[in-house]
Amino acid sequence: MKNPAGSQTVSRAIELLRLVSSGGRAGMRLSAVVEASELSRPTAHRLLKELIDGGLLMRSADKRYFLGQFAYELGLSAAAHFHLRDLCAPFVERIANETGDTVFLVVRSGADSFCLDRQTGAYPVKVFSVEVGNRQPLGVGAGGLALLSWLPEKERQAMIDRNSARLPQHGGLTASHLAKLVEEARRQGHSRIVDFAIAGVTGVGMPVLDTAGQPTAALSVTSISMRMTPQHQAEVLGVLGREVARLKTALMRPAPAVH
């Protein structure tokens, strides 16, 4: 027997987990969860309590919500089956070494981008805009913008609409501006985002597409804007394009047989 109400509850709980995890080390207050989820306060509070009871969330003394112990345990168990970060690590490291800048590996997680890896180059001014494990609305940051830009058109618009209320928290980004950035990315063959999330920072990114043309992951390079001159940006895009092509080939190889 189908249980639509139960399915809806599970779906909402999953979205709350994603939402709270986007708060990172700062966590999220109930008011922020209610605003971002568009759930009523009683519903959000009930679901959060159930997630706490299950160990998936915890609440600090100052009433901020964070991922809980059981979420951590699940992550450790799942990590053994997902080798994307390990496979991509040499590519990320080469880009960082050759450009001197900060390189991010991001993947899609629902309506968010999730930072899977980060490596820094030798340039003395480092950009730590996103930590490994952080998530943000799809389209924020050069990597997230690359992921969003190469989704099918209807899905792209659905993600922009879904995240419209959260976008202004990232440097005043709006749904209409994000749509223009997507058009620009598709026209140029790479994403480029300036000053959103962090003022004075420029990032460029490219998607890693699967055989169906869908983005599997994205690689991006970020630096302070004064360093990201047209000449340096061209050099970065050359390195990025080469490594994205190599990574795509590597991901298409069949996994070795397990005996």
Neighbours of 94 (CB within 10 A): 16
Query: Would 259 be classed as within a structural domain?
Result: no
Residue 242 inside a domain? The answer is yes
For residues 190 and 228, membership in a common domain is answered with yes
Q: Are residues 58 and 89 in the same domain?
A: no
- The reply to whether 93 and 62 lie within a common domain is no
**Binning pLDDT at 50, 70 and 90, where does residue 25 land?**
confident
pLDDT number for residue 254: 59
Q: Would 63 be classed as within a structural domain? A: yes
Indicate if 68 and 187 belong to the same structural domain: no
Q: Is the residue at 102 inside a domain?
A: yes
How crowded is the C-beta side of 237, counted as CA atoms within 13 Å?
17
Which CATH number covers residue 52? 1.10.10.10
Domain membership of residue 258 (yes or no) is: no
* 214 found inside a domain: yes
Q: Which of 76, 106, 132 is the last residue of a domain?
A: 76
Share of the chain above pLDDT 90, in %: 48
Same domain for 23 and 131? no
Q: Does residue 44 share a domain with residue 28?
A: yes
Q: Do 212 and 95 belong to one domain? A: yes
CA distance 169 to 157: 19
Structural domain boundaries enclosing 140: 82-252
Number of structural domains in the chain: 2
Using pLDDT thresholds of 50, 70 and 90, give the confidence band for residue 255. low
pLDDT digits (tens, 9 = 90+) for 193-243: 988 767 789 999 999 998 888 899 999 999 999 999 999 999 999 999 999
115 plus 229 within the same structural domain: yes
18 and 137 co-located in one domain = no
Gap between the Cα atoms of 219 and 146, Å rounded: 8
Final residue in a domain of this structure, among 53, 76, 99: 76
User: Is residue 155 located within the same domain as residue 180?
Assistant: yes
163, 139 contact by CB (below 8 A): yes
- Asked whether residue 235 is assigned to any structural domain, the reply reads yes
Q: Mean pLDDT over all residues of the chain?
A: 87
Which residue shows structure tokens 């997507």? Answer: 182
What are the tens digits of pLDDT across the range 123-177? 888 877 778 888 899 999 999 999 999 999 999 999 999 999 889 988 889 999 9
Phi then psi dihedrals of residue 105, to 5 deg? -110, 120
Side-chain half-sphere exposure of 22, counting CA atoms within 13 A: 25
Q: Do 20 and 34 belong together in one domain?
A: yes
Exposed / middle / buried, residue 123 (Cβ in 10 Å: 0-12, 13-18, 19+): middle
| Same domain assignment for residues 67 and 90 | no
Q: What is the pLDDT of residue 1?
A: 40
Q: Please indicate, yes or no, if residue 177 is contained in any of the structural domains.
A: yes
CATH number at residue 100: 3.30.450.40
Secondary structure (3-state) at 117: strand
Domain boundary at 56, 76, 96, which?
76
